[in-house]
């Protein structure tokens, strides 16, 4: 199972996903969007890429997106449970806070900061922020994530859209913790 992971796309005012991002997402079995899609039209455009889309709403999404999508959810696929939320709160204590909030999961995907991050706790629980494919906000490049699920384990990879893969380690910590 190959999962495309995006957040903070902010598809408003004619902005669309970069072609390389759309191409990568088309080649996945599932897309997880961790919020700040912007509008129902933007969600429908992402859904039109082909793979099923599982999403949560973010803090700047239109009212129709907020009415349609939950604030948080759990995705069960190929023996792995993935929590999804937009805003994970402060960087201080984030890993443990998300582990408690999504107690029955193997990992949590989140967004909001636009800062890529991957952390793994003792015991294997992981948190992952794919950054943003459209607004890098001081990060070296626009990014998205790919998760591979195999034999009940999940492995995250951060993909830089300007220069290919930036990290393929399932234990790599992001460039900084950020807010």
Report the 10 Å Cβ neighbour count for 147: 25
Instruction: Pick 179 or 98 by higher pLDDT.
Output: 98
Four-residue CA torsion sign, 138, 158, 25, 110: negative
Tell me how far apart the alpha carbons of residues 140 and 115 are, in angstroms, rounded to a whole number: 10
**For residue 9, is pLDDT > 60?**
yes
> Does residue 177 lie within any of the structural domains?
no
> Does residue 118 lie within any of the structural domains?
yes
- 171 SS3 class: coil
Quote the mean pLDDT of the chain.
89
The residues, any chain, with a CB within 8 Å of residue 3's CB and separated by 6 or more, are: 28, 29, 30, 31, 32, 77, 82, 146, 147, 148, 149
> Does residue 148 lie within any of the structural domains?
yes
Model pLDDT, residue 166: 53
* Helix residue ranges, H only, the chain: 19-26, 40-47, 63-68, 94-101
Model pLDDT, residue 177: 34
What does the pLDDT look like over 114-159, one tens digit per residue?
999 999 998 899 999 999 999 988 888 999 999 999 988 999 999 9
**For residue 162, is pLDDT > 90?**
no
> Does residue 175 lie within any of the structural domains?
no
In which domain, by residue range, is 73 found? 2-167
**For residue 60, is pLDDT > 60?**
yes
Give the domain CATH number at 83.
3.60.21.10
Supply φ then ψ for residue 52, to 5 degrees.
-60, 145
User: Per the structure, how many domains does the chain have?
Assistant: 1
> Does residue 124 lie within any of the structural domains?
yes
What's the gap between Cα 24 and its chain centre?
Answer: 14
> Does residue 145 lie within any of the structural domains?
yes
Tell me how far apart the alpha carbons of residues 71 and 84 are, in angstroms, rounded to a whole number: 8
Q: In this structure, are residues 106 and 82 in contact, taking their beta carbons and an 8 Å threshold? A: yes
User: Between the CA of residue 79 and those of 4, 105, 169, what are the distances in Å?
Assistant: 17, 11, 20
């Amino acid at each position: 199972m190959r999962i495309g992971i995006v957040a903070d796309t902010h598809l408003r005012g004619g902005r669309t996903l970069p072609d390389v991002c759309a191409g990568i997402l088309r080649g996945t079995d599932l897309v997880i969007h961790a919020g700040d899609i912007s509008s129902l039209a933007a969600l429908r455009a992402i859904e039109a890429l082909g793979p099923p889309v599982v999403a949560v709403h973010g803090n700047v999404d239109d009212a129709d997106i907020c009415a349609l999508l939950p604030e948080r959810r759990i995705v069960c696929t190929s023996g792995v449970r993935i929590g999804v939320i937009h805003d994970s709160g402060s960087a201080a204590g984030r890993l443990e806070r998300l582990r408690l909030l999504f107690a029955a999961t193997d990992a949590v995907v989140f967004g909001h900061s636009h800062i890529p991050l991957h952390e793994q706790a003792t015991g294997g629980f992981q948190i992952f922020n794919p950054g943003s494919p459209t607004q890098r906000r001081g990060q070296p490049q626009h990014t998205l994530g790919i998760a591979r699920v195999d034999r009940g384990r999940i492995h995250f990879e951060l993909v830089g859209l300007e220069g290919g893969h930036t990290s393929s380690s399932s234990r790599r910590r992001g460039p900084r913790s950020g807010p």
